[in-house]
Structure 1
């Protein structure tokens, strides 16, 4: 751990015991007051600590948000795992679980199918926003301002001849995804990889996660992907219900 990070952790641990003024914190940390203030400022700027009307610093709500996010992600993966396993066993294909984490969509679980080869995806790796079925269904359901923020910072890199590389075209594609309620990746990132993905609503109805099924083949077989859609939808529904979502 770097000295800077270690100092930040020390500050947070010290404030966790009780709110403190700069002078009190400096005495506890054994540093000069100006040094303590320099240590506090980046944490305050990031919302990790806050200064109250009494002049004392205390832990900020950003820590609560981050902690809750960790719990939510752990809960999603734990709840989803048996359903993902059942889907992988039934289809013998690779199954992915993706989730929106801050401003990235990340693979949070993956079960390799018995009948498929290994693919590029890895747990913890960011999902290619404009190619993956899982990312498309999440993007299509996001509020417009959040979706705009993600897409405005995204590079629409061409990976195969099927990749959508224009932002306007991709936005139109997302409108169709929203209408259909599912998305496909037809060899848009890897030439032999085809996927179908369905969103997973949480207890509030927000769609911030998705399950996708991957098949590896030389040619896209849309009828076959369509046959798999029902199983993917059933899996997404089962996970949503387990998370507390109630269908309208």
Structure 2
């Protein structure tokens, strides 16, 4: 990657964290403000960043358009969406689609359920490997070398009292997930949130995708859904079949 492109990527990453002035960007890049301005101007001209009335730069709408185009062109997301919608309607819960992308497990689609409570998850956001049901389902289904590479580089941060922070314990947990054929998140990232995850079947072990069902404990008074795990497996199998993936 050229130095110019690397600095442009740094600018985008920096503005993703928080809006900044030219002076602040210049300090981060180690250049004069005039050089920083020349660097960001093409990004602004292309709509990738925008300057607000406070003279701080922030990410531009063009990035959202490009990101949406990438998501729309993903065969998995396009094929899976009608099945995700049907699952969300049948279970009255929020449904996620997650996939392994460049050594990160990322939410690539989300269908909001009937609950009015919104969760932390967002399309395009990386999934916490050691807490999310979707990530556990994917990790358990991956070939061992791929799973080990991801886990060896992962930091097991504690988010709640239920978070598994010991790498050895988590690997044992994944073995249990593999035996059961599904994963759970029992308030391991957000205190009130429970999730169930099922990998999308793929005999090659390379698809690296899963669907998950999210329920909020505060919404437990809603009518119970008949066998949501069965519905999830049916949806996962339907997605795999539509993609032409060989099932286990």
Structure 1 equivalent of residue 41 of structure 2: none
Does the 8 A contact of 1:186 with 1:220 survive in 2?
Answer: no
Mapping 1:1-248, distance limit 5 Å: 4-5=4-5, 74-202=74-202, 204=204, 206-218=206-218, 227-247=227-247
Aligned residue for 1:201, secondary structure, equals: coil
Segments of structure 2 that go 5 or more residues without pairing to the other structure are 7-69
TM-score by length of 1: 0.67
Deviation, 1:76, is 0.2
Does the 8 A contact of 1:92 with 1:115 survive in 2?
Answer: yes
Does the 8 A contact of 2:115 with 2:219 survive in 1?
Answer: no
The 3 A distance-change label for structure 1 pair 210 and 165 is: same
The 3 A distance-change label for structure 1 pair 3 and 140 is: closer
Deviation, 1:205, is 5.3
The 3 A distance-change label for structure 1 pair 87 and 107 is: same
Aligned residue for 1:114, secondary structure, equals: coil
Does the 8 A contact of 1:194 with 1:220 survive in 2?
Answer: no
Larger Rg: 1
Does the 8 A contact of 1:133 with 1:183 survive in 2?
Answer: yes
d(CA) in 1 for partners of 2:217, 2:92: 14
d(CA) in 1 for partners of 2:116, 2:237: 25
Does the 8 A contact of 1:139 with 1:174 survive in 2?
Answer: yes
TM-score by length of 2: 0.67
The 3 A distance-change label for structure 1 pair 191 and 207 is: same
Aligned residue for 2:161, secondary structure, equals: coil
Does the 8 A contact of 1:211 with 1:236 survive in 2?
Answer: yes
Does the 8 A contact of 1:141 with 1:178 survive in 2?
Answer: yes
Moved over 4 A (4+): 70-73, 202-205, 218-221
Segments of structure 1 that go 5 or more residues without pairing to the other structure are 7-69
Does the 8 A contact of 1:96 with 1:212 survive in 2?
Answer: yes
The total of aligned residue pairs comes to 183
